[in-house]
Amino acid sequence: MKNNKNIYIETYGCQMNISDSEIVASILTNNGYHYTEDVLLADIIFVNTCSIRENAEDRVRKRLHYFKSLRKKNPGLVIGLLGCMADRTKTALMEEEQLLDLVAGPDSYRHLPQLLEQVGTGRRAIDTILSVDETYADITPVRLDSNGVSAFISIMRGCENYCSYCVVPSTRGQERSRDATTIVRETRDLFEKGYREITLLGQNVNSYSWKDADRIISFPDLLEQVAAVNPLMRIRFATSHPKDISNDLLQTIARNHNLCKAIHLPVQSGSNHMLDLMNRKYTREDYMERIEAIRNIIPGCAISTDIIAGFCDETVEDHRDTLSLMEWVGYDAAYMFKYSERPQTLAADTLADNIPEEVKDGRLREIIDLQQELSLASNKKEIGKTYEILVEGKSKRSDSQYFGRNSQNKVAVFTKTLSGPGEYVMVRITGVTSATLLGEVV
């Protein structure tokens, strides 16, 4: 089964999955397949899945049933499942529910052409073996759904932190870093193609470590090399782990103008009792010390986070500790979720998911309301300031406006000028909402 076949890829979950789908598109278009954004034109449909929360998996199941219904009009339609649900759900989705022809885990994408050939001979195909060294370093991703300004670059795969609620170590395997020279080359290639912002991706980028011919390239070293490609290329990264964020990294960011002044530092909870049960390997006090270091070394740096409400055994005091830490940090933004027990995690095997759903919902509501206040307060401090904004495209608000972000990753909307997407403009902030800065080009 080769050539002239259209592939359609639907991606769920994190930025890593978006980057993986771009790698899959590259592998298959280099094997004679064509990428289509129209599911009705597809001969092969891939769903790149996320397993981080139950509702993510429910959404995928619903889509797979819809795709199965498309077979009525297109009996030869091939349906494949990729990503973090692959290994654990292959039996249920393939044998029991007969929804799939092909299943491939996050480290098996190189084998997709052969797996598709196997399906072409009428046999189902499965490959969910995790690798200890696969990083797809030599694969140039095909940029999907891109604005031509920002792109993701995956610098490492896997994670070994084993936070007790997290599926990633079991779905993505051991931590491995990608060859630094291929990352610098990809950055240069993107700059020449007109991109002006990259986000370096990894589950825990701070533990990036590549053994070069004569030395170890650490994450701060890698940032220096990538920043040196061109001062007009902005560099962001995600995600950091508080136990590994060093002063060396902070000083590297402070020294380089094009290393963005925004750090995403997931805390998950403000309570030491919870941090211990979550196996996060730092205390509230450790975390606060890192926040102070960021504030001292990179004044004006934006800080965002992740928070889980209603984790196992969480008391009212634990919850209050989370709220008080949020206020103390004054986060610019946060991703906030209620705890969703996941199979094949330490928590599912050793702890009880004992906080009632309505209590989880109530606590999550309080956290979201507080963050809304904090984001608004943070944005209000921006009024009157002028920022260098990278123009990304037309604002959803009106055709006469553009939007872009400052180094602090805050979105600004302003009246169009001659400078278009991919160019920098200076914008004075004249008004705000909790999510957006409003301004005028100066």
Per CB under 6 A, residues contacting ligand SF4 are 159, 161-163, 166, 168-169, 203-204, 241
Least Å distance, CB 368 to ligand SF4, is 20
Measured from the CB atom, the residue of 105 and 439 that comes closer to ligand SF4 is 105
Q: What is the 3-state secondary structure (H, E, C) of 132-170?
A: CCCCCCCCCCCCCCCCCCEEEEECEECCCCCCCCCCHHH
Residues 150 and 187 sit within 8 Å (Cβ to Cβ): no
Q: Please compute Rg for the chain using Cα positions.
A: 22
Least Å distance, CB 326 to ligand SF4, is 19
Measured from the CB atom, the residue of 203 and 371 that comes closer to ligand SF4 is 203
Measured from the CB atom, the residue of 203 and 406 that comes closer to ligand SF4 is 203
DSSP secondary structure, 255-315, as one string = H-TTB-SEEE---B-S-HHHHHHTT-S--HHHHHHHHHHHHHHSTT-EEEEEEEES-TT--
Measured from the CB atom, the residue of 83 and 439 that comes closer to ligand SF4 is 83
Residue bearing tokens 């702890």: 351
DSSP secondary structure, 59-120, as one string = HHHHHHHHHHHGGGT-TT-EEEEEETTHHHHHHIIIIIS---SEEE-TT-GGGHHHHHHHHH
Q: How far apart are the first and last CA of the chain?
A: 57
Residue bearing tokens 């309570």: 271
Measured from the CB atom, the residue of 199 and 203 that comes closer to ligand SF4 is 203
Measured from the CB atom, the residue of 8 and 339 that comes closer to ligand SF4 is 339
Measured from the CB atom, the residue of 99 and 163 that comes closer to ligand SF4 is 163
Least Å distance, CB 53 to ligand SF4, is 12
User: How do beta strands 386-394 and 424-432 pair?
Assistant: antiparallel
Residue bearing tokens 């290393």: 259
Measured from the CB atom, the residue of 162 and 328 that comes closer to ligand SF4 is 162
Measured from the CB atom, the residue of 100 and 168 that comes closer to ligand SF4 is 168
DSSP secondary structure, 161-225, as one string = ---TT--HHHHH-S-EEPPHHHHHHHHHHHHHTT--EEEEE-TTGGG-EEE-SSSEEEHHHHHHH
Least Å distance, CB 437 to ligand SF4, is 30
Tell me how far CA of residue 22 lies from CA of 13, 15, 117, 269, in angstroms. Answer: 14, 11, 21, 33
What is the distance, to the nearest Å, from the Cα of residue 95 to the centroid of all Cα atoms in its chain? 31
Least Å distance, CB 232 to ligand SF4, is 32
Least Å distance, CB 25 to ligand SF4, is 24
